[in-house]
């Protein structure tokens, strides 16, 4: 099938099998390798992207369901100043270590930022529980997400 | 990595979807993909045809009709969680939805998919059983039929769904005053957990007497099940927590990589007793 | 600018990692690349009767490699030469590699691998480590023992007074579970050699292994951005690199091998399971009189690094305590199961869980407060360890007091209801547990003297390049080393950069393991920077700040200095008798964990984890605390979540992330991470190693907390809900 969708603000097209995983389309056809594969079954969240504004594991989305959709990947985060701040916060807080889970966490956090929710620390933990990290113990990731959500609140 | 070569049809209407399913019954229905894509990647399923239901609007929506709540088969976990109607009528189902997977999964995974996948650990199944849910199935030739949820599950991952049918909706009776519900999921970790066991209970009390009891367990055997012996014992009297011991007449827990039979048995009795004790006050 | 030390600057590879620009091996796109897959044994022990290809399958674009195609020796060289790159006549564990295939797509490669038929003649197998030593069939040597050792302090038998307290403790496998699976890309070079680009910790291990397999040294190894290691990418990448190199050489084109998660879980190394028996005598006040320890570990089918793992276990089974006498016997044996290998802590966590639980047993038996028992017996200045090492500036008490004070002062997060958690009906009991541990930093005994780690600094204009084989696997080497150089030379951080971790460029700085990189290699970097400054002063024939001299010679050619690690000459170590200075120094850590146990289900909820760690000096507190928090959660995972379930052949059954359960953010406690600075004169700016110690202590603290909450006494890891419920009185 010819897949037409908008990725990181740009209209893109690719000739793909309809059941191809969105993750493979992004990584192999569009060479956007920011989304990572950690498990291939939606457990680790390293492949999280925003699909029409909602976080999804790109390994579980068939290309046919991305037809006409809007996709945001980690490569497109910096275009939004608010999300660029989220990225900077991750570095400053030490939320990234080996970095393999970082794009997925950023995308899950980006959805929270875009929804503008006010979350307690415990709620932030639940909200990012679909992303596994083995390096940080999550403490500094929660710090960075909490900081980004607070920064978004009107003072 | 394992790309399916399946042909995919993306119908725009329910009629179109049912016709396609009837003409090629081997077609595998695709909702949010959170189970199907895993099976394909694990090389456990290699469908030649896939019916992509994601764009069928008739399968969406949560609304109240004639004393029932209708949930379209494509209702996602996220939609369940945010439904004010369900918060009133089926809080146990909402709580179950909150425990399902994580945000990414809840955004795509659907109630219809959870039923069709028919894993005995499916998070929605104990609440749907305890709430006397009814599954609506559609076929191009025979139209719609409704099956009580308890009769929908026939065996391990086997359902009453005929080869030419699709799940179209789930119906729950509107909540009745005096109904109290409870949901419990037991797993190794809090999030992203597949149950060791899950439980949903509902009792209706009038004047301190239990007039209706529904006790449903998931992940204990090949199908989610009701604890009929305990239900019958509970009905017609005050809540007596010690009746939880009768549960052993209803369940024959299995052992697998997630837990042991002994644990499931003991924890199931404990969870049931704990809830009954909190009801008895 | 010396204030750079102690500053939590953001990691230098941070911007690339948060933007998706950091390239991991699977992100590398190479035209014409083939994908490799592995045909593995389905038997624990069998003769290979034949390897055949399904003739109905299209093999036209598939490369197949078996042991007969190996140009050099069929061995993965590490400590001994017992492990083949590909099994020849015999397989000794399930998942042992037998053949390799490569094809233009991953799907085709996986499919082709399924069309390679192996005919086996099954043989009896040893799966249980308790039935290995001296038994038939023989797997290794004369007695199936990879390594045994014994150490003594005084005469245990002479101690007959006090109370005899005995205990047995058991721990299971643990998977490192780096989020990026193992992966390697092999690219043929124009000179007939091969370049390996991979997810790995120790590039020179791979070089040494490949020279043997390929029979030549026309090769270089490049570390790609690496998505976690924890020891799992210490030795295993040598195997995977050998496979990819064999395929690439045969195919004459690049070959990429990236494991799927299930394959990674089933086939790669794990933490060694262990059984520790302790027999102790203690006087009635709680003074530790004698320790008799028997440590048994399961090495799996091949030796890998097991001798060093068992050695570290033996050296840590005393805990951070003063024993008047000790006798430790330790052995690691062979079984027909997938080899176990390096994993953060490297034998110490197993030993430490045992001794810390045993202290709880002593406290219970004598009705002494478990914290007071520890305080009373912690090693103090001038005490002797069980190897007779004189303890200098111990941090155990500092850490314990700091952690306990923080437990009183910092708020305990409320035990809030969770969805599906049972609400008011749930019966959750709170509990607190405390543990104290120490961890020897760097290699054991005279290990560093053998390694001779080197670092090169290259000055060009005002830029300094640091050339080192030490890798950054997330712990922050690439940030810490420039911080050190800039601090020593009092120059801006922007002047210093890391050379790519490519063995064609960088010297062997020793493996990136054993909590040695910041302390040992960092020390070499520090010394090299001083040497560079000295060289500039000699060249300019005057004393001046480095920056001034560097600017003055901007127009001149590059200047290179090399420095090699100089072991502390005062350290004495007898490797035969295990007497002397086992480690140059120790890190110390106290843990206070608060949790709740659901007594109906045995589920454990973590609330808060306080750690206080004597790390000498925090070179970068953000990175340092990040290491400790990550390691501590890995330890909590081992404590209550992570269990490798195997079948009768030793095959891992829960080979998915849905059933090998690691903690999520919702399971992790809030952490209070205290860094205690108790400088070690042998480390750069006083720094000690800290990478592994957080793995050592939390599991025992959790066991104590569960006991405090429920009365359940658990001496076996993991403490799953099943075991907690069973043990709950």
* B36-54 pLDDT per residue, tens: 999 999 989 999 999 999 9
Q: How far is C563 from chain A (nearest CA, A)?
A: 28
Paired with C256 in beta bridges are C35, C185
| Cβ pair C664:B274 closer than 8 A | no
Domain boundary among B146, B173, B200: B173
Helix, coil or strand: residue B149 = helix
Q: With CB atoms and an 8 Å threshold, state whether C179 touches A46.
A: yes
Q: Which residues of B touch A20 (CB under 8 A)?
A: 3
For chain A, domain boundaries: 2-76, 77-152
| A140 Cα distance to chain centroid | 18
Residue B214: strand pairing partners: B202
| Gap between the Cα atoms of A96 and A145, Å rounded | 12
Residues of A with Cβ-Cβ distance to C630 under 8 angstroms:
97, 133-137
Name all contacts of C414-418 with Cβ < 8 Å and 24+ positions apart.
C415/C596, C415/C605, C415/C607, C416/A122, C418/B190, C418/C605, C418/C666
Which residues in chain C (245-304) have CB-CB distances under 8 A to chain A?
260-261
Among residues 637-656 of chain C, which lie with CB inside 8 Å of chain A? 656
* Domain made up of C447-564: CATH architecture: 2-Layer Sandwich (3.30)
Chain A residues close to B1, C-beta within 8 Å:
21, 24, 37, 40
User: What token pair was written down for A38?
Assistant: 């950690």
CATH of the domain at B214: 3.30.390.50
Q: What is the pLDDT of residue A73?
A: 98
Q: Which of A41, A128, A131 sits opposite B38 (nearest CB)?
A: A41
Q: Are residues B163 and B243 in the same domain?
A: no
pLDDT value for C1: 46
Tell me which residue in A20, A65, A126 faces B191 most closely, judged by beta carbons: A126
Which CATH number is A2-76 given? Answer: 3.10.20.30
For residue B231, give Cα distances in angstroms to B69, B172, B196: 24, 20, 22
**Partner A contacted by B127 (CB < 8 A):** no
Closest A-chain CA to B78: A54
pLDDT tier for residue B188 given thresholds of 50, 70 and 90: confident
Sheet holding C274-282, edge to edge: C145-153, C325-334, C288-300, C274-282, C163-171, C716-717
C657 reaches A (C-beta below 8 A):
yes
Q: Which residues on A lie below 8 Å from B3 (Cβ)?
A: 17, 19-21, 24
Please list every residue in chain C whose beta carbon sits closer than 8 Å to the beta carbon of residue B196.
Answer: 721
Question: Are C591 and C557 in contact, with CB atoms under 8 Å apart?
Answer: no
> Could you give the CA distance from residue C60 to residue C34 in angstroms, rounded to a whole number?
13
User: Looking at residue B190, what is its pLDDT?
Assistant: 79
pLDDT band with cut points at 50, 70 and 90 for residue B1: low
- Cis peptide before A43, with omega less than 30 degrees from 0? no
* CA gap C452, C457 in Å, rounded: 16
Chain mean position to CA C44: 26
Return the pLDDT at A155: 46
Do both B192 and B273 map to the same domain?
yes
Please indicate, yes or no, if residue B2 is contained in any of the structural domains: no
Q: Residue ranges of the alpha helices (H) in C443-498?
A: 447-451, 477-489
Judged by CB atoms closer than 8 Å, whether chains meet at B41 and A130 is answered as: no
Please check whether residue C629 touches A, CB under 8 A.
yes
Q: What residue spans of C410-557 are helical by DSSP H?
A: 447-451, 477-489, 522-540, 546-552
Q: How many CB atoms lie within 10 A of CB B100?
A: 26
CA distance linking residue C244 with residue C35, whole number of Å: 9
CATH assignment at residue B41: 3.30.43.10
Chain A residue whose CA is closest to C623: A94
- Please report the ipTM that was assigned to this predicted complex: 0.98
Q: Do B103 and A17 touch (CB under 8 A)?
A: no
C25-123+182-258 adopts what CATH topology? Aldehyde Oxidoreductase; domain 3 (3.90.1170)
Give the DSSP H or E segment for C278. strand C274-282
Instruction: Tell me how close the Cα of A17 comes to any Cα of chain B, in angstroms.
Output: 7
**Contact list, A77 vs chain C (CB under 8 Å):** 18-19
Contacts of A41 in chain C (CB under 8 A): 261, 656-658
Low-confidence stretches of chain A (pLDDT < 50) are 155
Mutate to test the interface with B, among A15, A17, A64, A69 (most CBs of B within 10 A): A64
CB within 8 Å: B274 and C422? yes
Q: In the structure encoding, which two tokens stand for residue C244, read together?
A: 């990819």
Domain assignment of residue B1, yes or no: no
Residue C340 DSSP one-character state: P
User: In chain A, which residue's Cα lies nearest the Cα of C694?
Assistant: A137
Q: Is the peptide bond before C718 cis (omega within 30 degrees of 0)?
A: yes
**Structural element, H or E, at residue C456:** strand C454-460
Domain membership flag for residue B258? yes
Do C650 and C93 form a contact (C-beta atoms < 8 A)? yes
pLDDT in the model for residue C417: 85
A39 touches chain B (CB under 8 A): no
Q: Where are the domains of chain C?
A: 25-123+182-258, 447-564
The verdict on B48 touching A (C-beta cutoff 8 Å) is no
Distance CA C383, CA C389 (A): 8
Residue B184's nearest CA partner among B265, B262, B123, B258 is B123
- Cβ contacts (< 8 Å) between A89 and chain C: which residues? none
Those chains having 3 or more beta-carbon pairs within 8 angstroms of chain C are A, B
How much is the pLDDT for B281? 86
With the CA atoms of A19, A22, A23 and A28 taken in that order, what torsion angle do they form, in degrees rounded to the nearest 10?
Answer: 80
Number of domains in chain B: 3
Please give the Cα distance from A143 to A121 (Å, whole number): 9
Write out the two tokens for C728. Answer: 């709950």
Helices (H) and strands (E) in chain A, counts: 5, 5
Closest CA to B23 of B32, B35, B13, B15: B15
C722: chain B residues, CB-CB within 8 Å: 259-260, 262-263
CA distance B36 to B45: 8
For residues C598 and C658, is the Cβ–Cβ distance under 8 A?
Answer: no
Q: Within a domain: residue B154?
A: yes
Nearest CA in chain B to C35: B1
DSSP secondary structure string, C667-729?
Answer: TSPEEEEEEE----TTSGGG----SSGGGTSHHHHHHHHHHHHH-----EE---HHHHHHH--
Which residues of chain A neighbour B101 with C-beta distances below 8 Å? 42, 130
For residue B278, give how far its alpha carbon lies from the nearest alpha carbon of chain A (Å). 26
Model confidence band, residue B177 (pLDDT cutoffs 50, 70, 90): very high
CB-closest option in C20, C261, C665 to A129: C665
Give me the domain span that covers residue B84.
57-173
Q: Which residues of C touch A121 (CB under 8 A)?
A: 670
Buried b (16+ CB within 10 A) or exposed e, B103-124: bbbbbbbbbbbbbbbbbbbbbb
Residue contact C722–B260, C-beta within 8 A: yes
Residues of B with CB under 8 A from a CB of C: 1-3, 42, 95-96, 98-99, 102, 182-194, 196, 198, 257-260, 262-263, 266-267, 270-271, 273-275, 277-278
A-chain CB neighbours of B5 within 8 Å are 17, 19
Query: Which residue on chain B is closest to A49 by alpha carbon?
Result: B104
Q: In what order do the strands lie in the sheet with C463-467?
A: C496-498, C463-467, C454-460, C559-564
Give strand pairing partners of A48.
A57
Residue C340, both tokens: 């176990």
Give the distance from CA A24 to its chain's centroid.
Answer: 15
Nearest beta carbon to residue A129 from set B33, B42, B191? B191
The answer on pLDDT for B192 being more than 80 is no
Name residues whose C-beta falls within 8 Å of residue A120's C-beta, 6 or more positions apart in sequence.
Answer: none
Put simply, whether C662 touches A (Cβ < 8 Å) is yes
Report pLDDT for A154. Answer: 55
Nearest CA to C28 among C222, C219, C264? C222
Does residue B233 form part of some domain? yes
Residue with tokens 């190479």, as numbered in its chain: C30
DSSP secondary structure letter of residue A27: I
Q: What CATH number is given for A77-152 in this structure?
A: 1.10.150.120
DSSP reduced 3-state for C231: coil
Report residues of chain C scoring pLDDT below 70. 1-2
Any B CB within 8 A of A65 CB? yes
State pLDDT tens for residues C500-538: 999 999 999 999 999 999 999 999 999 999 999 999 999
Q: Which two tokens stand for residue C35?
A: 């994908």
Question: Which chain A residues contact residue B102 at CB under 8 A?
Answer: 45, 129-131
Using CB atoms within 10 Å of the CB of residue C541, give its burial: 0 to 12 exposed, 13 to 18 middle, 19+ buried: exposed
**A73 contacts chain B (CB < 8 A):** no
Task: Mark which of B124, B153, B173 sits at the end of a domain.
Answer: B173
Q: Which chains touch B (3 or more CB pairs under 8 A)?
A: A, C
How far is it, in rounded angstroms, from Cα B37 to Cα C247? 31
User: Among B137, B154, B173, where does a domain finish?
Assistant: B173
């Amino acid at each position: 099938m010819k897949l037409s969708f908008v990725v990181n603000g740009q209209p893109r097209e690719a000739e793909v099998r309809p059941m191809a995983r969105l993750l493979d389309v992004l990584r192999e056809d569009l060479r956007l390798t920011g989304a990572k594969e950690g498990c291939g079954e939606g457990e680790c969240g390293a492949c999280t992207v925003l699909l029409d504004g909602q976080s999804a594991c790109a390994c579980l989305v068939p290309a046919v369901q991305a037809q006409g959709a809007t996709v945001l990947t980690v490569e497109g985060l910096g275009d939004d100043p608010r999300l660029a701040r989220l990225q900077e916060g991750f570095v400053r807080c030490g939320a990234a270590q080996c970095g393999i889970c970082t794009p997925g966490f950023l995308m899950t956090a980006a959805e929270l930022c875009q929804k503008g929710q006010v979350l307690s620390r415990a709620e932030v933990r639940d909200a990012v529980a679909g992303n596994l990290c083995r390096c940080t113990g999550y403490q500094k990731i929660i710090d960075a997400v909490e900081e980004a959500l607070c920064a978004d609140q009107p003072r | 990595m394992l790309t399916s070569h399946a042909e995919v049809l993306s119908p725009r209407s329910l009629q179109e979807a049912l016709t396609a399913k009837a003409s090629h019954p081997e077609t595998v229905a695709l909702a949010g993909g959170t189970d199907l894509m895993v099976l394909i990647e694990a090389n456990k399923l290699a469908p030649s045809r896939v019916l992509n239901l994601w764009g069928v609007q008739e399968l969406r929506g949560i609304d109240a009709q004639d004393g029932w709540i209708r949930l379209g088969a494509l209702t996602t976990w996220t939609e369940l969680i945010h439904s004010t109607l369900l918060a009133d009528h089926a809080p146990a189902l909402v709580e179950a939805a909150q425990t399902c997977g994580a945000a990414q999964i809840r955004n795509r995974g659907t109630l219809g998919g959870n039923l069709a996948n028919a894993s005995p650990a499916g998070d929605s199944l104990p609440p749907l059983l305890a709430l006397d849910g009814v599954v609506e199935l559609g076929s191009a030739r025979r139209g719609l039929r409704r099956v009580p949820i308890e009769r929908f599950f026939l065996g391990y991952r086997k359902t009453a769904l005929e080869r030419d049918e699709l799940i179209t909706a789930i119906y729950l009776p509107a909540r009745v005053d005096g109904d109290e519900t409870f949901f419990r999921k037991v797993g190794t970790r809090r999030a992203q957990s597949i149950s060791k066991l899950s439980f949903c209970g509902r009792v209706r009390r009038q004047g301190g007497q239990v007039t209706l009891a529904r006790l449903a367990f998931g992940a204990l055997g090949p199908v989610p099940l009701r604890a009929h012996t305990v239900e019958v014992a509970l009905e017609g009297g005050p809540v007596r927590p010690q009746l939880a011991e009768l549960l052993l007449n209803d369940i024959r827990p299995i052992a697998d990589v997630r837990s042991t039979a002994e644990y499931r048995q003991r924890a199931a009795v404990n969870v049931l007793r704990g809830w009954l004790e909190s009801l008895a006050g | 600018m010396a204030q750079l030390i102690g500053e939590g600057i953001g990691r230098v590879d941070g911007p690339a990692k948060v933007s998706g620009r950091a390239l991991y091996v699977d992100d590398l796109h190479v035209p014409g690349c083939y994908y490799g897959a592995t045909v593995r044994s389905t038997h624990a022990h069998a003769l290979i009767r034949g390897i055949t290809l399904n003739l109905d399958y299209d093999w036209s674009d598939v490369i197949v490699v078996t042991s007969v195609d190996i140009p050099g020796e069929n061995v993965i060289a590490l400590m001994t030469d017992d492990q083949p790159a590909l099994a020849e006549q015999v397989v000794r564990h399930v998942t042992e590699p037998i053949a390799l295939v490569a094809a233009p797509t991953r799907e085709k490669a996986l499919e082709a691998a399924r069309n390679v038929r192996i005919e086996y003649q099954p043989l009896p197998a040893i799966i249980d480590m308790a039935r290995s030593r001296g038994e038939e069939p023989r797997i290794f040597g004369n007695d199936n023992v990879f390594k045994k050792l014994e150490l003594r302090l005084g005469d245990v038998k002479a101690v007959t007074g006090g109370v005899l307290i005995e205990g047995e403790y058991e721990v299971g496998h643990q998977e490192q579970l780096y989020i990026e699976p193992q992966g390697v890309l092999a690219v043929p070079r124009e000179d007939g050699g091969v370049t390996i680009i991979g997810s790995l910790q120790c590039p020179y291990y791979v070089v040494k292994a490949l020279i043997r397999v390929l029979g030549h040294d026309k090769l270089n190894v490049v570390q790609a951005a690496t998505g976690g290691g924890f020891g799992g990418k210490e030795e295993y990448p040598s195997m995977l690199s050998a496979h990819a190199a064999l395929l690439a050489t045969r195919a004459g084109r690049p070959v990429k091998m990236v494991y799927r998660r299930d394959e990674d879980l089933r086939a790669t190394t794990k933490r060694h399971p262990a059984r520790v028996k302790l027999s102790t005598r203690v006087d009635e006040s709680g003074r530790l009189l004698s320790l008799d320890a028997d440590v048994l570990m399961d090495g799996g089918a091949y030796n890998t690094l097991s001798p060093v793992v068992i050695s570290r276990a033996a050296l840590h089974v005393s805990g951070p305590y003063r024993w008047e006498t000790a006798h430790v016997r330790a052995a690691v044996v062979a079984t027909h199961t997938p080899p176990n290998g390096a994993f953060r802590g490297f034998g110490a966590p197993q030993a430490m869980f045992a001794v810390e639980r045993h202290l709880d047993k002593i406290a219970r038996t004598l009705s002494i407060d478990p914290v007071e028992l520890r305080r009373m017996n912690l090693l103090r200045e001038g005490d002797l360890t069980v190897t007779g090492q004189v303890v200098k500036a111990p941090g155990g008490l500092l850490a314990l007091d700091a952690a306990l004070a923080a437990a009183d002062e910092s708020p305990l997060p409320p035990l809030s209801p969770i969805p599906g958690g049972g609400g008011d009906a749930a019966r959750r009991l709170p509990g607190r547990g405390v543990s104290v541990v120490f961890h020897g930093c760097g290699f054991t005994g005279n290990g560093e003297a053998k390694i001779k780690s080197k670092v090169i600094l290259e000055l060009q204009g005002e830029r300094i390049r640091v050339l080192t084989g030490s890798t950054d696997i997330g712990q922050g080497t690439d940030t810490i080393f420039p911080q050190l150089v800039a601090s020593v030379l009092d120059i801006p951080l922007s002047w210093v950069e890391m050379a790519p971790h490519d063995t064609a460029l960088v010297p062997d700085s020793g493996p990136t393991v054993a909590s040695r990189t910041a302390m040992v290699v960092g020390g070499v970097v520090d010394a090299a920077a001083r040497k560079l400054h000295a060289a500039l002063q000699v060249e300019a024939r005057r004393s001046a700040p480095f920056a001034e001299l560097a600017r003055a010679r901007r127009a001149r050619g590059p200047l290179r200095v090399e420095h090699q690690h100089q072991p502390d000459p005062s350290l004495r170590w007898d490797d035969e008798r295990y007497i002397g200075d086992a480690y140059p120094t120790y890190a110390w850590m106290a843990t206070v964990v608060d949790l709740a146990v659901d007594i109906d289900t045995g589920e454990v909820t973590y609330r808060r984890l306080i750690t206080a760690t004597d790390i000498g000096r925090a070179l970068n507190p953000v990175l340092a605390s990040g290491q400790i928090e990550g390691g501590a959660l890995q330890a909590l995972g081992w404590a209550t979540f992570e269990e490798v379930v195997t079948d009768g052949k030793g095959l891992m059954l829960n080979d998915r992330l849905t059933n090998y359960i690691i903690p999520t953010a919702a399971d992790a406690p809030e952490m209070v991470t205290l860094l205690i600075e108790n400088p070690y004169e042998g480390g750069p700016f006083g720094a000690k190693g800290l990478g592994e110690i957080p793995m050592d202590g939390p599991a025992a603290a959790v066991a104590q907390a569960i006991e405090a909450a429920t009365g359940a006494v658990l001496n076996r890891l993991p403490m799953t809900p099943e075991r907690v419920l069973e043990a709950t009185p």
